[in-house]
Amino acid sequence: MSEYSKPLPAVQPWSRPFWEGTRENRLLIQECKACGAKIFYPRKACPECWSAELGWSEACGRGKVYTFTVTLTGVEEKFAGDLPYVLAMIDLDEGIRMMGNVVECDPGDVEIGMEVEVVFERVTDEITLPKWRPFRG
């Protein structure tokens, strides 16, 4: 794993629980204790009411493809081995939208509205990335 050369997230104090969660194969999302809003990406204050009283809850890990693109060519060398790959925006059942790769399927089979579930790809000792695959039930 030490040869991982793609960009890694910069873990911030307010996003650390998210990355600790993915490392344990859990998808955690921020929740405002004042107004109940679900929040993604992680922040220091609620974007709905500005409360700083935020907590975390575990998402069910399911959602639907809101939109996506298939990358076929024209990428930096470090991504060439992934071609073709799907980058999608996923609407989680919890009502938030998250960007990520759709994996474990032919890119030609991905459709808007397709049901997906989270999978976790450990890329370094510290970072595990959430990705999405077709929902298998």
**Binding residues for Zn ion (CB under 5 A):** 32, 34-35, 37, 46, 48-49, 51
Q: Which of 56, 54, 46 is nearest to 22 (CA)?
A: 56
Q: How far is the CB of 61 from Zn ion (least distance, A)?
A: 23
Q: Which of 94, 78, 83, 88 is nearest to 113 (CA)?
A: 88
Which two structure tokens, joined as six digits, stand for 109? 């089979």
Q: How far is the CB of 43 from Zn ion (least distance, A)?
A: 10
Q: How far is the CB of 71 from Zn ion (least distance, A)?
A: 36
C-beta of 84 vs 95, nearer to Zn ion: 95
C-beta of 53 vs 104, nearer to Zn ion: 53
Q: How far is the CB of 56 from Zn ion (least distance, A)?
A: 14
Going from the C-alpha of 15 to that of each of 29, 30, 115, the distances in angstroms are 10, 9, 26
C-beta of 50 vs 135, nearer to Zn ion: 50
C-beta of 37 vs 70, nearer to Zn ion: 37
